[in-house]
Structure 1
C-alpha cells in the first residue's frame, strides 16, 4: 500500500508512532426493524438494562481514576453520567419503542439523531461539542445493546510489543481514552472534533499526541497500518516510507530528550537574558489542577474557569452549586497554591455554553446572553458566586476576573454587584479581602478599542485571545470550512494585542494573555517583544514557554517586533516571526 498523508486539526502537541487500532462506530451497524406488541416491554427492558450497564461502566471508570489523573477526566465522565440520566436519553427512547414499535437500537439512534439535529441549528463551537457528548454516550449504550463493546487488542510479543497503539475512530470519548491509557496508547486520530472538544482537552491534559477533524481517516486507514501523528502540524502519515519513519523516530527521540531537560527548569526563575522577570501562570478548571500547576513551577493561577463547577447542574437536575460548595472549591484552590495568586473568572456560560443541555438556546448564542450578560440577568446566582469568591479571598490572594465586558454600563453594574456582595458579607460577619483586585477579560474588539473605559475602573486586564481572534475575524475555529482562516498573526489581531499591552503599561495596569497564544512557543518572543510580562496557559505548556523566556533578550526582540507590527502582508509578518525565533 502506498503511503499517504491526511491533514486535520492539531489539538495536542508531540509525535506518536505506532500501529493503527480501529474503533468501529456501533451506530453505523444498527439494525432497524419493527417489533410485535407482545415484545414491547421486553425491548424496553433491554434498553433500560443497557443504560444501567453503561451507568455502572462509567462509575467504575470514575472510581478507578488514578490519583495523578487530570481533574478534567472526572468532570467529563460526570457530564456523561448526567447525560445518561437525562429523560431525553433515558426515557424518550423508551416511549419511541412503546409508541412506534421500533427495536431498542433504532429507538435510541432515532432520539440521538433528533437531539443532534437540534444542536446543529445553532452554529457555535461549544454547543457543537455538547452534541458530540450526547452522541458518545449514545454510542456507548449502542455497543452494549449490539454486543460490540470496545475491544482492546491483545498484547503481543515481538515487534507489536514495542509498537505503540494509535487509536483511529470516527470519534472517541474521554472514557474510552481512559480504557486505552494502560495499553501503550500513544495517540489518536478521529474523523470529527475540534479544539474545544472534551476529548481534545483530555488529550492536552494527558499530553497525548492527537489529530482530529480528519474527515474520513477511519475509512482510509486499515487495521495495523503504521501511522505517524505529527501533533504539532495536525498531520497524519499512513504507511510511511522507511526513511520518513526513521526521521520521525529521530524527532520523537529528540523531543523526549528535550522534555527531560525542561524538567530541570522547574525551579529556575523566568527571567529574560537582559534581566526582565516574566510571570508564568497556569490555567485550571478545578482545584485539583493546582498540583500540576505547582509541579510545572507556575507563579500562580492566571485563569480558574469556574464554569466547570456549574456544568450539568440545572434544568432537570435543578441544582446549582451552593455558595458553600463554591466557596470550598475556591478556598481549596487558594490553599493549594500556597500563597501564590489565584485569578478566578466568574461564570463564563449562558446561551452558548448551557448549564443544562435541555436549556433553550438563542439563534446566535456567541453574540447573545452569555458570560457577564448572563450573570447580570441572573443577579441572585451572580451574587452567590461573588460571595463565595470573596469569602475564599480570606484564605489567600485572589483576583476576580469578569468575562466578556464591552460596555461601561456593564462594568459599573458589575462593580455595584461586587459592592453589594461585600455588604452582605459584612452584615453576616464573614471575612474577605476588602482590597481584592478586579479585572476584565479583553476578548471583544470593542473592549480592546475602548481600553480607557476599563483602565479607569479596573485593576488588571487579561486578554482572552481565543475569543478575541474569533470575534475580530468572524471565524469559528472549529468549523472545518473556515478553520484555515483562524489566524493569530492577522495584522488586526496583532494591533489589538500590542495596543492593549502598550496602554496597560502606560497607565500601570497589569495585562496578561490567558488564551492559546500564551502557551504557543512559536509566539512567545513576539508577545515578549510587544511588552507582555504575564502569560497564563495550560500547566503542560509552562516549561516550554519558560525555556523560550530564558533564551530571549528583549533588547533584540523589541526593535524586530516593532517592524512586524508595522507590516500588513502575511508573508512579511511570518518572516518577521521566524527572524524572532532565530535571535
Structure 2
C-alpha cells in the first residue's frame, strides 16, 4: 500500500478504481508561414476561439441552470480570457509579426503568461494557471481537430487522477460516475477544489506526483477529511473506510424524514424553505426535495446562448411551465432580467465597462430607453403566467425609489397592453425587490411602503458591503456573510419590512448556510431560498431551534466584532443546547 498526502479540498470518503485522465494536448511545433498565409491563419485561429467560446458559454449556462453558481462564475472568467487583448490579442499579434502558425503562437504566449503567474508570491494568481491551461487546451484541440472528449460514463464510479482537472471537465462530473478525485497541483482555492465542494465529491489536491505513479485500474481510497490517498490498500483498511463511509451515508439519509414536513421551529414558529432555479425543469425539484416554493427564478438564462431575444410567447411558455412544475399552490418568484456584471448577452451589445459589477446591469439596463421594449415584453410574459399559480414578480438590484417607481410604471403599462389585447393575468400579483445594494438596505423603510416583499440577495449584498469582488479570490477573505456589517444591514431590512407588514426572504447562498440559519431565524427572516440539496438539512436544523432563543442569540451576535467571532459564538450556542 502506498500513501499519498495532499490538501483536503472536499470532505467525504471515496473508494474505487482509478481512472487516470489522458493528457489533452496539441502539437505546438512552429511552422513559418508565407506572407499570403498569415491572414488566413489568423482567421482560422479566431474561428477556433469562437468555437471554444461557444463551448464555454454552454458550460456556463448548464452550470447556472443546475444552480452551480461557482462553476458558472469560473466559466465567466474563461470567457473573459478569450476576450483579453493581453492573451488572445497577443497570440494574433505574434502570428502577424513573426509569420508563424496559430498552434505555436498560442503555446508560446500561454507558456509565458503561466510563467509570470507561477513566479508570483500569490496563491490565487498561481492557481489561475489552470484557467490558462484549460482555455488554451480547448483552443488547441480545435486547431488540431482532436477535440477534448474525455469519457464520462463508466461501469462503476471511478476515482479520477490527473495533473489537474480542468474546470471544463470538473463541471461535468457527476457523483454517480465519479466517486472522488486527486490531482498533482492546486490548493483549497483552486477551481477544481471549489467545484468538488459544490458537488459534494471527495477530493484531495496538491498530491505532487500522483498522476505519474497511479495507473488506471489501481484501487484507491480518497480521504477528503484528512487529505490522504491510499493506493491498493489491504482488505482490512478498505473495510475500515467502508464503515466510515457507511456512517456518513446514514447521517445524510436521516434528512429524508423531513421531506414531507413543514418547516417549523421547536417552539412552533413556521418559516418557508424555497429553492433557486434557472429553468422550468429545475422546478421539478420542489416536490423532489420537499421545498415550499421557488424563491428565485433566474430568467436571464432564457435569454442567453442565442442570437436574439426570446419572444413573449416563448417566455410565457417557460414561466408557465415552471409554475405548473412546482405545483400551483407553491409561490414562484420570477426575477426580471438580471444581466451585466459576469453575465453578458451578445445581441444586447453591452458596452465594455471597467467595473461591470458597479455598472449598467440588472434593473438599470432594463430601464434604459433602448431596452424598454425588451423589458415590457418580459413583464407581459410574467403577467400572463401569473394566472396559472401563485406567481410573484421581483426586480433585481433596486438602488433608489425612483428606479422602483419607473419599473412599476412600465409594469402598469404592460398590464394596460394586456387588457387591450384581452389577455388574462392576476392583477393582485405581488411585486417585490431584491435588496442587494447597501443603499437599498439603508432606505428599506421607504422602499417597504411601495412593495409587497423583499428578497435579500446576499451574494451581491456581501460583495458591495465589503467592497470585495466575489469573483476575485485574492479578496475572498472579505466574502463574509456573517460579518457584523452585513448582519446589521439584514437586521435593518427585516425590521423595516415588518414595520410595514411586509415579509422578507433571502435568496443568496447565505440562506442555506448552517451557521447563518440560526441568526437569520432570530432576526425574523420569513423565507429561506437555497439550492435543492440544502433544503432538508436546513429543515432539520430549524426543527431543533427555538425562535425565541434564536432572537436572543441574534441580538447578541450583532454586538460581536468579527465574522469569526460570530461563527464561533453560534456554533458554541448550538452545541450547548
Which TM-score tier does this pair reach, normalised by the shorter chain?
0.7 to 0.9
Distance 1:370 1:219, change over 3 A: farther
CA distance in 1, matches of 2:30, 2:518: 58
Residue 362 (structure 2) aligned to one of 371, 389, 411:
371
Partner of 2:391: 398
For the 8 Å contact 1:522–1:581, the answer to whether it is kept is no
Residue 501 (structure 1) aligned to one of 494, 504, 507:
494
Q: Mean Cα displacement is larger for which, 441-450 or 94-103?
A: 94-103
Q: Mean Cα displacement is larger for which, 262-271 or 552-561?
A: 552-561
For the 8 Å contact 1:438–1:459, the answer to whether it is kept is yes
Distance 1:246 1:565, change over 3 A: farther
Residue 356 (structure 1) aligned to one of 343, 346, 362:
346
Residue 331 (structure 1) aligned to one of 314, 320, 330:
320
Partner of 2:119: none
Distance 1:228 1:480, change over 3 A: farther
User: Deviation per CA, 1:299-322, whole angstroms, max 9, x where unpaired?
Assistant: 110000111111233xxx3x1111
User: Deviation per CA, 1:232-260, whole angstroms, max 9, x where unpaired?
Assistant: x8x84455999999887655333311232
User: Deviation per CA, 1:499-546, whole angstroms, max 9, x where unpaired?
Assistant: 222332332211011111111123222221222221000111111111
For the 8 Å contact 1:168–1:218, the answer to whether it is kept is no
What secondary structure sits across from 2:346 in the alignment? coil
Distance 1:483 1:41, change over 3 A: closer
For the 8 Å contact 1:174–1:202, the answer to whether it is kept is no
Partner of 1:344: 334
Distance 1:47 1:331, change over 3 A: same
Q: Mean Cα displacement is larger for which, 251-260 or 38-47?
A: 38-47
Partner of 1:31: 29
What secondary structure sits across from 1:379 in the alignment? helix
CA distance in 1, matches of 2:563, 2:193: 32
For the 8 Å contact 1:476–1:482, the answer to whether it is kept is yes
User: Deviation per CA, 1:310-361, whole angstroms, max 9, x where unpaired?
Assistant: 1233xxx3x1111111111111111111211100111111254211398532
Partner of 1:459: 452
For the 8 Å contact 1:188–1:209, the answer to whether it is kept is no
* TM-score of the two chains, using structure 1 as the length reference: 0.76
How many residue pairs match? The answer is 540
Q: CA deviation at 1:211?
A: 6.4
Q: Mean Cα displacement is larger for which, 39-48 or 291-300?
A: 39-48
Structure 1 portions without partners, runs of 5+: 117-130, 156-160
RMSD over aligned CA atoms reads 4.9
Partner of 1:322: 311
Q: CA deviation at 1:371?
A: 0.9
Q: Mean Cα displacement is larger for which, 523-532 or 568-577?
A: 568-577
For the 8 Å contact 1:21–1:223, the answer to whether it is kept is no
For the 8 Å contact 1:143–1:150, the answer to whether it is kept is no
* Correspondences of 1:61-140 after superposition (within 5 Å): 70=66, 101-106=99-104, 139-140=137-138
Residue 414 (structure 2) aligned to one of 406, 417, 421:
421
Residue 505 (structure 2) aligned to one of 478, 494, 512:
512
Q: CA deviation at 1:31?
A: 3.2
For the 8 Å contact 1:372–1:403, the answer to whether it is kept is yes
Q: CA deviation at 1:448?
A: 1.2
Partner of 2:464: 471
Structure 2 portions without partners, runs of 5+: 115-128
Distance 1:147 1:416, change over 3 A: closer
Partner of 1:281: 274
Q: CA deviation at 1:556?
A: 2.9
CA distance in 1, matches of 2:36, 2:564: 70
User: Deviation per CA, 1:166-214, whole angstroms, max 9, x where unpaired?
Assistant: 354545355675487764443576967999989967984xx442669x6
Q: CA deviation at 1:228?
A: 3.5
Distance 1:569 1:103, change over 3 A: closer
* Correspondences of 1:147-166 after superposition (within 5 Å): 147=146, 149-152=148-151, 164-166=158-160
Residue 550 (structure 2) aligned to one of 536, 554, 557:
557
What secondary structure sits across from 1:482 in the alignment? helix
* Correspondences of 1:250-261 after superposition (within 5 Å): 251-261=244-254
CA distance in 2, matches of 1:253, 1:488: 33
* Correspondences of 1:198-347 after superposition (within 5 Å): 204=198, 207-209=199-201, 222=212, 224=214, 228=222, 230=224, 236-238=227-229, 251-313=244-306, 317=307, 319-339=308-328, 340-347=330-337
